Structure 1
Amino acid sequence: MSDWETIPDLVRWSAERYADTEAVVEGRTRITYAGLGARVERAAAACLASGVRTGDRVAVWAPNSLDWIVAALGAVTAGAVLVPLNTRFKGAEAADVLRRSGARLLFVTGTFLGTSYVASLRRAAAEGAPADGSPLPALPALKEVVVLSDDAPPDFRTWKDFLAGGEGVPAAEVHARAAELDGGSTSDIIYTSGTTGRPKGAVITHAQTLRAYEIWTDLAGLRTTDRYLIVNPFFHTFGYKAGVIACLMRGATMVPQPVFNVETALANIAAEQISVLPGPPTLHQSLLDHPSRAAHDLSALRLVVTGAAVVPLRLVERLRGELGVETVLTAYGLSEASGIVTMCRRGDDPSVIASTSGRAIPGTEVRVADPTGSPVRPGETGEVLVRGFNVMRGYYDDPAATAETVTPDGWLHTGDVGALDASGNLRITDRIKDMFIVGGFNAYPAEIEQLLGVHPDVADVAVIGIPDPRLGEVGKAFVVRRPDAVLTADDLIAWSRREMANYKVPRSVEFVGELPRNASGKVVKGVLRGRA
């Protein structure tokens, strides 16, 4: 087994094992693993000096950056439980998670995407009376806010000032604090994206995180020589754990990108000779279709890991054929299962990679069940259930929601609809809540999206159910056309009638410039339903 039981163990081990290897590249800043280890210890010392205790919740509300990595790993090394906040949250949403998690310390970015996070949080937390010296009156548990920049309001601290506060804390004290943790200690609380309701916090331990992402790195084939462009947001398991934690395990170089922009990604891939680029299918599609792609050297790319209900076979073929990507893998996971449930294996046929999310990872079981919880036959659809080491310890401070989601014998209800083939490969067809019923037939938007995605003029598509006086509900498709395409709604509906069962055919089509997505890359169907 590994040389680490906790994330602080991993950070110290990687600092020694890969000491002179480049760990993080951010603009002109380049630091080695030894340098990263030293920065993390300094941040941990500052957390101790500010009064963080073992088990305290520490939140980070900031885009992907070196400072995010250092602040988060520093807090965890100080024994804290990391609570990453979605960068697309508004002030009230961030305040809600801070309040419910009882966060003691917050690291926050200054301004991102034209928004002052400090100002929006202050507005959201302006109600209520000051309590216990909190810098934000409505958040009494929050004792300190550190702004990850050189400027901060008078009652907050700058990152530089915060780090200086830990200079008197000896290294032995930091190591002693980290040693209080074990594999069963909580490492983080990941709040769900909230596209279907109020976010809930999945409680995950150090042992779960390390075991899951050691498996991920093995299945993906991550190497010490890899250079990894991390576009997936750090607040999401895919970015933090399949990104930062995985790189620490293998000594790969991290190149964080704060927001996805095709031109920036192309420039980074070329300039930094990026070899690993996980992300949602739309990310890879936009790279392939960008008009200036040929002007950039993308030859170092060798590994792509993607995941979604819809991964067109053509995308897999284009990544391999046009970009020469040696390994393209699909995977499936959710926050409540440590972010990983199934994954394809290197060597799988392209059709398996495109049409499924692979097989259960070692140490876990996947079942597709009917509404009574009984397994269905291979090829039949039902709810995807998961059991194993990766299933969360529960939702933070919400035993009722935990009991609804995890059965007494350990099966996690994912809320996803899927089917297993005879080889155990999982095909996700939809969210249970997204399914609609057309004249008595169950219609799964993701299945219809996959069929529509085959049309040569369709670049991106999302389908929702809308009311219909005769059939109850029918499908409506929101479509992004490929550049220069002149596809009409009538064309696409006529094509659909030839390609799919009648009840699946969208009755209306609306063309859009882009689909609304959250920072995790998921289409926010609530926005589309509002438009419809």
Structure 2
Amino acid sequence: MEKWTIQSALSNAVSKTPDKVFLYEGDKQLTFKELDERTDRLAYAFLKEGIKRGDNIGIIALNQFEWLYTFFAAAKIGAGVVALNVRYRESEFEYMINNANVKALVSISSLADFNYSDFFDHFRGNIPTVRKFIFTGEGFEGSLHFSDLMVQEIDIEQLNEAKDKVVEEDTAVIIYTSGTTGRPKGTLITNRSILASAKAHVGHFEIKSSDLSIGNLPLNHVGGITCSIMVALLSQSSVVLIPMFNPSDVLEAIEKHRATIFGGVPTMYVMLLNSEKRKTTDLTSLRLCVAGGSNVEPELCQRINKEIPNGQLVNLYGLSESSGACVLSRLTDDLSKVQKSIGVPIGDFEAKVVNKERKTVPIGEVGELAIKGACVAKGYYGMEKETKETFGEENWLYTGDLVYTDSEGYLYYKGRKKEMYIQGGYNIYPVEIENILSKHPKVLMAAGFGVPDEFYGEVGRYYIVPTPGEQPTDEELTNYCKQHLADYKIPKQFIFKEDVPLTPAGKIQKSLLRKEFEEMKEGTSR
């Protein structure tokens, strides 16, 4: 039986449609065959530079060809790619590169006003495991140029020998958790797990070779590398890479390429539909609008349905630890179902809802979602305790997300387990309140969590980003919540901000908001 690896999936695509365009980036395009040939050369160059099976290669780049050259070349020789965000700086780079024992680092040379070449030239002493620095542009003395590695002659026998050693359980990519609840952990996503998620995704949404998706989700996140790239690889469809999310660029790409699939977090949909360019853009080619990352509040669901007339709105639930999607809406679900439920387990994956003792709870009762299947990653890099806590017995992944299920097997998201707080003896799930607040016409985004209170034990503190040109008041939002929520759920604190920190995937980064609150509280107590 043939091994199921990223290399074999690419070889299969080449055998079926060698000259089909797989990737677009600006005015450039790349066929399956061209990707295979170019990554053979890079894979051999990595071998010559001393990179071997089991080593890790860091990558800092936008959604661009070089990112994917590195990914596919590394996969061919059994090396893992450590996916780093271009927005990271000193503390993130030092922690993640050292934590993952990175042997080689591929990076863009600069972006905006930040020069990565200069930075790493002076930072080398802080990341001693990195032996090779490779830049897509100008580097420092002693570093390598990416393009030089792409033109070397290949010793095909040596390359094939390295390819033959790769197995399904080899790590393909290490993605650090988004940090919404604490210290990032490097998730070990294997050839097997990433392909299992992508295959189930393709089958569930009936992705065809004629489809073309917009690759706007960052490649250093499963939304980009699994739900866009690997899904397209297995279905032999195409992806338009958007280097960094920008509403105008996305809208232009949808119209120019007659894209059929767009996926994004709710924040991206809000920005897209609020863009001035939206008024003059034809979106009728879109057949599937995939929303992931967090619950889509009902009003936004209705707006997407109205403004993208041919695009069926569906939910996607997945996390780094599930290597990509593991729960999706059904294509037959109507809008009312999509507004309420995140969907059902896909492929042959299983789901259960458990209590604190990890015993299954009855239908309708809120508990922690656990997922089982080939999509489950193999753990966290160098973190045995955290791996045992999250990846339980019999390959069950305990997600830390609170849900309940109905008699038809649909799952309903209630928020993160660690985000639940108890106000006056009542369990409060922030996502429910956030969805209500986001419906207010003067609110663009809302994010909340519980903070200590002498009287209630904990109270809800909600950060509000107003709609441009508007400024809601505490009283307005309190009265609005009174109309839609039980009195014990009404937030006690509102904090108005022009913007809030976002994770690489576009979710509101509550860990930084919580840190800001803790520092403020500590300062006032001195």
TM-score bracket for the superposition, by shorter chain length: over 0.9
C-alpha RMSD of matched pairs (Å): 2.0
Q: Which residue of 1 aligns with 2:188?
A: 203
Structure-to-structure mapping, 1:35-434, within 5 angstroms: 35-123=34-122, 125=123, 136-149=124-137, 151-164=138-151, 167-434=152-419
Could you say what secondary structure the match of 1:442 adopts? Answer: strand
Quote how far apart the aligned CAs of 1:435 are. Answer: 1.6
2:413 and 2:176 mapped to 1: Cα distance?
22
Q: Cα distance, 1:338 vs. partner?
A: 1.7
The sequence identity of aligned pairs, in percent, is 29
How far apart are residue 327 of structure 1 and its match? Answer: 2.3
CA distance in 2, matches of 1:465, 1:66: 43
1:7, CA displacement in angstroms?
A: 0.3
3-state SS of the aligned residue for 1:269? helix
CA distance in 2, matches of 1:319, 1:9: 38
Q: Where in structure 1 are there 5+ consecutive unaligned residues? A: 126-135
Alignment check: 8 A CA contact 2:322 2:377 kept: yes
The corresponding residue for 1:21 is: 20
CA separation in 2, counterparts of 1:92 and 1:101? Answer: 14
Larger mean Cα displacement after TM superposition, 313-322 or 332-341:
313-322
Contact 2:177 2:187 in 1 (8 A): yes
Q: Do 2:258 and 2:286's aligned partners in 1 also have CA atoms closer than 8 Å? A: yes
If the length of structure 2 is used for normalisation, what is the TM-score? 0.93
Relative to structure 2, which stretch is displaced further, 220-229 or 329-338?
Answer: 220-229
Secondary structure in 1 matching 2:244? coil
Distance (Å, rounded) in 2 between the aligned partners of 1:276 and 1:405? 32
How many residue pairs are counted as aligned between the two chains? 517
Secondary structure, aligned partner of 2:207: coil
CA–CA distance in 2 between the matches of 1:312 and 1:291? 22
Structure 1 window deviating more from structure 2 (170-179 vs 325-334): it is 170-179
Unaligned runs of 5+ in 2: 518-526
Cα 1:248–1:510 change in 2 (3 A) is: same
Which segment is superposed worse, 474-483 or 365-374? 474-483
Separation in structure 1 between the aligned mates of residue 3 and residue 181 of structure 2, nearest angstrom: 37
Is 1:460 the counterpart of 2:445? The answer is yes
The answer to whether the 8 A contact 1:25-1:255 is kept is yes
> What is the identity, as a one-letter code, of the residue corresponding to 1:143?
R
Higher relative contact order (CA 8 A, sep 6+): 2
Equivalent-residue separation in structure 2 for 1:206 and 1:518 (angstroms):
25
Given that residues 57 and 81 in structure 1 are in contact (C-alpha distance below 8 angstroms), is that contact kept between their aligned partners in structure 2? yes
Does the aligned pair in 2 maintain the 1:94–1:121 contact within 8 Å?
no
Give the whole-Å Cα distance in 1 for the aligned partners of 2:512 and 2:461.
13
- Describe the superposition over 1:477-531 as per-residue Cα deviations: whole angstroms up to 9, x where unpaired: 2223334545432111111112101121112323333332111112111332344
- Where 1:348 maps in the other structure, the secondary structure is coil
Aligned-partner Cα distance in 2 for 1:412–1:251: 30
Structure 2 vs 1, CA of residues 119 and 419 (structure 1 numbering), >3 Å: closer, same or farther? Answer: farther
Tell me the amino acid that sits aligned with residue 247 of structure 2. V
Shift of 1:474: 1.5
The amino acid that maps onto 1:156 is S
AA partner of residue 197 (structure 1): G
Q: The residue matched to 1:341 in structure 2 has which SS? A: strand
Amino acid at match of 1:528: L
Structure 2: distance between partners of 1:306 and 1:114: 32
CA 1:417 to 1:512, structure 2 compared with 1: closer, same or farther past 3 Å? same
> For residues 44 and 293 of structure 2, what CA distance do their matches in structure 1 show?
40
What CA distance in whole angstroms lies between the structure 1 residues aligned with 2:384 and 2:511?
27
